[in-house]
Amino acid sequence: MTTQVNDYQHCRTDTLQHPTMQVYSAGNFAEIAPQRLSPMSWSLVGRPMELGSRLFVGDILDNPSWATGSNYVFTGYFSCRPYHNLTAYCYVAEQVDLLTPVDITAAFFEGIEPPRSGLGAESGRIKRRRSSVRMMRELVSLRPRLMELEQRVFGFEHDVDAAVTTDADWRIGELAAAGNALLERAWHLHIVSSSGAVAAEVLQRKVVGRLAGKGIAMANWLKEPAELPWGRLFALSSVENGPGRFVSEPFYEIADTALPWADYAMTPIRPPATSDREFHDVSPREALVGMYDSARGRAIDASVLLLGDVMALREYSKSLCMRILHAHRRFVPRLAALRGVDDADWPYLSMAELRNVVPGKEEIERRRVSCEEALGVDMPDYLDLAPGASQAHQPRRVPRGVSAGICDGVAIEIDEIPEQPGAVLVCESADANIIPMLPFIGAVVTARGSQYSHVAIICRELGVPAVVSHPIARDIKSGQRVYVNGDSGEVRIL
């Protein structure tokens, strides 16, 4: 069963893949999202993300034909599991200065070999330069756009509170329309900031490598994002009707109280919020800048701060997406009841259907059966639909140290609360829901992940050594003593 991107009236469990760009990866998105999303949640995440990606590419590449039409280009939904289109993102990197497809796979897709797009030769120098200028314009205007969007999100949250607490059912339809517009804008800005972060990191690596030497080896020490929103939002999560309420709920899945989706939603973890972790007055960035003359020091400093600023905007945009989704969690059940849809049925609809024409019981039941079948499928991390591709092919992941430091501690799993400082958290993957644990954690090791996994970003922010995409993570048992080197990516069971 398939659906088209521009088809507002149908929501099936699969999407129509792109005829040319047929190499997909679970990538960064599926590292952090639940393994399965309900059709309702997918309509609030996948479709707006697809539209935001197309808008971004249209703005910087002057509306290429491959990013139009009814096929999914950047995200797919194969058997109820989200997929980035790895080929499309790598092709975008070929069309702008500074970036290469290898930069994309290193940042978001666990360092696997970039696929070929089959769309022909790279753009000429002039066209690439124009695309790069357009991309820079998008980044320069990003912060004011996000600040303006946050004001709108705050107003939206207030309107949802008013409608839900006063039984103002006449406003629910208006909220659904407003939420759709906000989600499309928020996911678009998240795509812009994510793309800009890759370019900023490449620039930092080149600058530091040329002016200081050993740029790659020093990269993890120089990750110094400006204030990211997660710690602040967790601190505000206890404030009644505050902007941090969403962090106590599973990310992405708004049908987290309905089966079977409740079994796949990430459960938030909230240990005590105190810690004896020490923080140093002088950062590695400040120390490195102080070692060089003023011109070289300023250049290094500027490259590190640029990356930190773009990374902060990336997390800022994601937090806005999550706040909008949390607001939907509050009013969608009410909207479903007003439309005569049972609580057990609305997760199988799209938001557009709930707002317009609700399918009949027979169609909902067909979707339920289709989703049950799909949930039983063990989907690969890498999907190559190209003619002649081997169904068994899997890319070789590259273990990577993403947050500097060395730790030797006892392993714990993600559903455990550390009983002593210095424990090593070992898991398949993780998102911002592990922030309350990190003050008690000595290091993090994940089986999946990349340089821009959210767990990597958060660990760098809080100074926790981390290694991602390491195959040994699946062999480590709770209670074993583990050595972790966040610089080299080495992990050993002691």
Residue 272 has pLDDT above 80, yes or no: no
Question: What CATH class does 400-493 carry?
Answer: alpha beta
Predicted pLDDT of residue 458: 80
Percent of the chain with pLDDT over 90: 23
Average pLDDT on 66-78 reads 86
**Would the pLDDT of 361 be above 60?**
yes
pLDDT tens digits along 16-60: 788 888 888 887 676 666 678 899 999 999 889 999 999 999 999
The answer to whether the beta carbons of residues 75 and 54 sit under 8 Å apart is: no
> Region 382-392: what's the mean pLDDT?
77
In this predicted structure, what is the pLDDT of residue 65? 87
Residue 270 has pLDDT above 60, yes or no: no
Rounded Cα distance between 183 and 326, Å, is 11
| pLDDT value at 332 more than 70 | yes
pLDDT confidence tier of residue 171, bands split at 50, 70 and 90: confident
133-140 long-range CB contacts below 8 Å, 24 or more apart?
Answer: 134/59, 134/60, 135/60, 135/96, 135/195, 135/196, 135/199, 138/56, 138/59, 138/60, 138/192, 138/196, 139/192, 139/193, 139/196, 139/310
Mean pLDDT of the chain: 80
Say what the pTM is: 0.85
Q: Give CA–CA dist 395/463, Å, rounded.
A: 30
Tokens of 75: 């995200």
Alpha-carbon torsion angle 120, 126, 127, 133, nearest 10 = 140
Residue 117, token pair as written in the block:
């797009």
Which of 355, 314, 308, 309 lies closest to 332 in space, CA to CA? 355
Q: Are 33 and 39 in contact (CB under 8 A)?
A: no
Domain ranges of the chain: 23-374, 400-493
**Which strands, in side-by-side order, build the sheet including 23-25?**
75-78, 81-84, 23-25, 382-384
Contact 28, 105 (CB under 8 A): no
Give the separation between CA 148 and CA 268, rounded to whole angstroms.
29
Residue 73 contacts residue 66 (beta carbons within 8 Å) = yes
> Is 440 in contact with 418 (CB distance < 8 Å)?
yes
pLDDT in tens, 234-249: 666 666 767 777 777 7
pLDDT value, residue 238: 67
Nearest to 22 by CA among 320, 454, 387: 387
Residue 130 has pLDDT above 80, yes or no: yes
Q: Please give the pLDDT value at position 266.
A: 62
Tens digit of pLDDT for each residue in 96-115? 888 889 888 888 887 788 88
Whether omega for the bond prior to residue 260 falls within 30 degrees of 0, making it cis, is yes
Q: What is the mean pLDDT of residues 174-198?
A: 92
For 457-490, the pLDDT digits (tens) are 788 877 789 998 888 888 888 889 999 998 888 8
Distance CA 27, CA 381 (A): 7
Position 273 scores a pLDDT of 43
Of all helices (H) and strands (E), which one includes residue 207? helix 172-211
Say how far residue 480 (Cα) sits from the centre of its chain: 30
Question: What is the rounded CA–CA span in Å between residue 93 and residue 187?
Answer: 20
Give the N- to C-terminal CA distance of the chain in Å, as an integer. Answer: 49
Average pLDDT (424-441) is: 77
105-109, 347-351, 436-440: range with lowest mean pLDDT? 436-440
pLDDT by residue (tens digit) across 155-166?
A: 999 999 989 888
Task: Spell 69-87 as b/e; 16+ CB within 10 A means b.
Answer: eebbbbbbbbbbbbbbbbb
**Residue 289 pLDDT level (bands cut at 50, 70, 90):** low
Q: What is the DSSP string of 56-124?
A: HHHHHHT--GGG-SSSBSSEEEETTEEEE-HHHHHHHHHTSSS--HHHHHHHHSTTPPPPP--S-SPPP
The first and second tokens of residue 46, run together, are: 């996948």
Q: At residue 400, does pLDDT exceed 90?
A: no
For residues 277 and 317, the model is more confident at 317
**Cα gap 341→116, rounded to integer Å:** 45
Count of positions (residues) in the chain: 494
Identify the DSSP state of 17. B
